[in-house]
Amino acid sequence: MNYNHDDRIVMTLDAGGTNFVFSAVQANKEIINTVKLPSHGNNLKKCLDTIVSGFRQVQENLSVEPVAISFAFPGPADYPRGIIGDLANLPAFRGGIALGPMLEEKFSLPVFMNNDGDLFAYGEALAGYLPYINSLLENSGSSKRYSNLAGFTLGTGLGGGIVHDDELFLGDNSAGVEVCNLRNRIDPEASAEDGISIRAVKRVYAESAGIDFEEAPSPYEIYKIGIGEARGNREAAVESYRQLGRNLGDAVANVLTLVDGIAVIGGGVAGAHRLFWGAMIEEMRTRFKNPLGGTSARFNVNFFDLEDEQDLQRFVKGKSRVITVPGTTRKVEYDPLLRIGVGLSKNETSKIISIGAYAFALHTLDQK
């Protein structure tokens, strides 16, 4: 699927626990300045009024009528039916609110919604990191192409999504790829999200610095401390992101083992990758021990750090060669370097989620 030249317009929303970011997308590009409004997640009436108002403001800035509304919510819900249920960051929806049907009535448009981690992955697969990697392979003359992607968002929580052959994996309960519930690498009795999130960075900093959690600075401030650009406990800052990197590396490795493709990391906390990327890669390259005392690689294929220039070049180049079909003179290309990799998103997270929401709406409309 390629919507780079599609004239249809979809109004989008990236719904967070603090703010709602509204936009409109055409041909995989945002075509208006985003509208950012407070979510009022504890007050249902204010929250619903905000959603309607935001889409009204977007609609007023369009010269052509949109074909759909499509947006992202944080956490599991009955997305196919447009019903939002018990979300930790938006408690006003607890008990079940038929938000999709309500918006269909008000705007006379089909409404689509999905998990923000899923739509991040979808945007990266169709118009972000996956096309970027495939273009590098094409320009190098390689016949290798990738059609499987796992996306991870680091922020208030840990989100994720998987795309295979342009299709988003949803699950039977709209709860597929809930990577937040993977096991924590450092504390196996905790969830991965408790080690890969805003609260995780603050908690480890507080513990390492010997202060109360409430006194811990924001993850951005901790990052600044860690790189020496702000005052504070630098060792605690470095340790907080080292632990995040180790937990993240384990989570990404577990998912990549199933996906056999490309992983991409995004979200607000990903801006601190300078402090956690090395620990993440180191964790992904750890080896398993066997009962006889030997070790084996974590992956059955070769793993590459796509943010390392040398690794990226080896990944793109591969080991392609031409071999002869037995008993014939026919030649075929063969690349024995089986490989997967992980890279950092090149897009602003809210923007790529909007593009994912856009593509999801058009793909669903086209299927119908």
Residue-wise DSSP of 188-212: TTSBGGGGSSHHHHHHHHHHHHT--
Which among 114, 147, 171 is the end of a domain? 114
Task: Based on the fold, state whether residues 145 and 102 are members of the same structural domain.
Answer: no
Total domain count for the chain? 2
119: in domain: no
88: in domain: yes
4: in domain: no
- Determine how many CB atoms are found less than 10 A away from the CB of residue 311: 17
Task: Based on the fold, state whether residues 107 and 137 are members of the same structural domain.
Answer: no
Task: Based on the fold, state whether residues 138 and 108 are members of the same structural domain.
Answer: no
Task: Based on the fold, state whether residues 165 and 305 are members of the same structural domain.
Answer: yes
Domain span at 138: 129-346
Cα dihedral value 69, 119, 85, 47, nearest 10: -50
CATH value at residue 104:
3.30.420.40
* Cα–Cα distance measured from residue 178 to residue 192, given in angstroms and rounded to the nearest whole number: 10
Task: Based on the fold, state whether residues 72 and 202 are members of the same structural domain.
Answer: no
Task: Based on the fold, state whether residues 200 and 315 are members of the same structural domain.
Answer: yes
362: in domain: no
Task: Based on the fold, state whether residues 85 and 137 are members of the same structural domain.
Answer: no
Which among 114, 141, 159 is the end of a domain? 114
Task: Based on the fold, state whether residues 167 and 292 are members of the same structural domain.
Answer: yes
Alpha-carbon dihedral sign for residues 170, 172, 173, 175: negative
Task: Please indicate whether residue 74 or residue 117 has the higher confidence score (pLDDT).
Answer: 117
353: in domain: no
- Determine how many CB atoms are found less than 10 A away from the CB of residue 43: 13
Model confidence over 155-171: pLDDT tens digits?
989 999 999 999 999 99
222: in domain: yes
Task: Based on the fold, state whether residues 91 and 167 are members of the same structural domain.
Answer: no
Per-position DSSP letters for 16-35, written without gaps between them: -SSEEEEEEEETTEE-S--E
363: in domain: no
Task: Based on the fold, state whether residues 108 and 145 are members of the same structural domain.
Answer: no
Task: Based on the fold, state whether residues 55 and 149 are members of the same structural domain.
Answer: no
Model confidence over 296-341: pLDDT tens digits?
999 999 999 999 999 999 999 999 999 999 999 999 999 999 999 9
DSSP 37: E
Q: Where are the beta strands (DSSP E) in 249-366?
A: 262-266, 287-289, 295-297, 302-305, 321-324, 331-334, 339-344
β-strands 68-73, 35-38 pairing = unpaired
The rounded mean pLDDT for the chain is: 95
In sequence order, the 6+-apart residues with CB closer than 8 A to the CB of 326 are none
- Read off the pLDDT band of 53 (50, 70, 90): very high
Task: Based on the fold, state whether residues 50 and 196 are members of the same structural domain.
Answer: no
Model confidence over 264-291: pLDDT tens digits?
999 999 999 999 999 999 999 999 999 9
134: in domain: yes
